[in-house]
Amino acid sequence: MPTEFEPIIGLEIHAQLLTRTKIFCGCSTKFGTPPNTHGCPVCLGLPGALPVLNRSAVELGIRAAMALDCQIELESVFARKNYFYPDLPKGYQISQYELPLATGGHLSLHESGTDVGITRIHLEEDAGKSLHEGFPDSDLKSHVDFNRSGVPLIEVVTEPDMRSATDAKSFFMTLREILVSLAVNNGNMEEGSLRCDANVSVRPVGQLALGVKTEVKNLNSFRFLERAIEHEINRQIEVLKSGGQITQETRLWDTSADRTLVMRSKEEAHDYRYFPEPDLPLLRISEDWVNEVRRSLPELPSATRVRLVENYGLTAEQVEQLTRVKPSLVTYFEEVVKADVSPKIAINWCLGELTRNLNGRQVDKVKVISQRVPPVALAKLIKLLDSGTISGTIAKEVFEKMCGTGESAEMIVERDGLAQIDSVEMLSDTVNEILTQHHDAVSQYRSGKSGAIGFLVGQVMKATRGKANPKLVNELLRKAIEG
Contact status: 201 vs ligand ADP (CB under 6 A)? yes
Phi, psi of 97 (to 5 degrees): -125, -80
Residues that bind Zn ion (CB under 5 A): 25, 27, 40, 42-43
Contact status: 158 vs ligand ADP (CB under 6 A)? yes
- Taking CB under 6 A as the criterion, the residue among 199, 236, 391, 420 binding ligand ADP is 199
Burial 174-186 (b: 16+ CB within 10 A, else e): bbbbbbbbbebbb
The rounded distance, in Å, linking the Cα atoms of 428 and 479 is 11
Q: How far is CA 15 from CA 62, 122, 199, 222, 225, in A?
A: 13, 11, 17, 15, 16
Pattern 328-347, ligand ADP, x by CB under 6 A: --------------------
Q: How far is CA 376 from CA 231, 270, 336, in A?
A: 51, 61, 6
Phi, psi of 348 (to 5 degrees): -65, -40
Query: Among residues 213 and 396, whose Cβ is nearest to ligand ADP?
Result: 213
Q: CB under 5 to 8 A by kind: which of Zn ion, ligand ADP, none does 25 bind? A: Zn ion
Residue 95 CB, nearest distance to ligand ADP (Å)? Answer: 12
Please name the residues in contact with 69: beta carbons below 8 A apart, sequence gap of 6 or more: 105, 106, 107, 118
The rounded distance, in Å, linking the Cα atoms of 389 and 407 is 18
Region label for 258, one of left (φ > 0), alpha (ψ between -120 and 50) or beta (otherwise): left
Contact status: 12 vs ligand ADP (CB under 6 A)? yes
In 185-232 the beta strands, taken as DSSP E runs, fall at 194-204, 214-219
Q: CB under 5 to 8 A by kind: which of ligand ADP, Zn ion, none does 213 bind? A: ligand ADP
- Taking CB under 6 A as the criterion, the residue among 159, 320, 407, 410 binding ligand ADP is 159
- Nearest residue to ligand ADP by CB is 10
Contact status: 236 vs ligand ADP (CB under 6 A)? no
Q: CB under 5 to 8 A by kind: which of ligand ADP, Zn ion, none does 369 bind? A: none
Contact status: 160 vs ligand ADP (CB under 6 A)? yes
Query: Among residues 128 and 211, whose Cβ is nearest to ligand ADP?
Result: 211
Residue 29 CB, nearest distance to Zn ion (Å)? Answer: 10
Q: What is the CA radius of gyration of the chain?
A: 30
The rounded distance, in Å, linking the Cα atoms of 152 and 20 is 10
Of the ranges 210-218, 237-245, 406-414, 457-465, which one interacts with ligand ADP (CB under 6 A)?
Answer: 210-218
Of the ranges 138-146, 151-159, 164-172, 440-448, which one interacts with ligand ADP (CB under 6 A)?
Answer: 151-159
Q: CB under 5 to 8 A by kind: which of ligand ADP, Zn ion, none does 442 bind? A: none
Residue 188 CB, nearest distance to Zn ion (Å)? Answer: 22
How many chain residues interact with ligand ADP (CB under 6 A)? 16
Query: Among residues 38 and 203, whose Cβ is nearest to ligand ADP?
Result: 203
Query: Among residues 129 and 266, whose Cβ is nearest to Zn ion?
Result: 129
Cα atoms found within 13 Å of the Cα of residue 217, Cβ hemisphere only: 11
Q: Is 246:239 a contact under the CB 8 Å cutoff?
A: yes
Of the ranges 70-78, 86-94, 153-161, 379-387, which one interacts with ligand ADP (CB under 6 A)?
Answer: 153-161
Helix (H, G, I), strand (E, B) or coil at 219: strand
In 273-421 the beta strands, taken as DSSP E runs, fall at 275-276, 283-284
Contact status: 196 vs ligand ADP (CB under 6 A)? no
Query: Among residues 273 and 338, whose Cβ is nearest to ligand ADP?
Result: 273
Q: CB under 5 to 8 A by kind: which of Zn ion, ligand ADP, none does 128 bind? A: none
Contact status: 105 vs ligand ADP (CB under 6 A)? no
Q: Is 34:198 a contact under the CB 8 Å cutoff?
A: no
The rounded distance, in Å, linking the Cα atoms of 202 and 211 is 6
Contact status: 157 vs ligand ADP (CB under 6 A)? yes
* Residues at the contact surface with ligand ADP, assessed by CB under 6 A: 8-12, 157-160, 199-201, 210-211, 213, 269
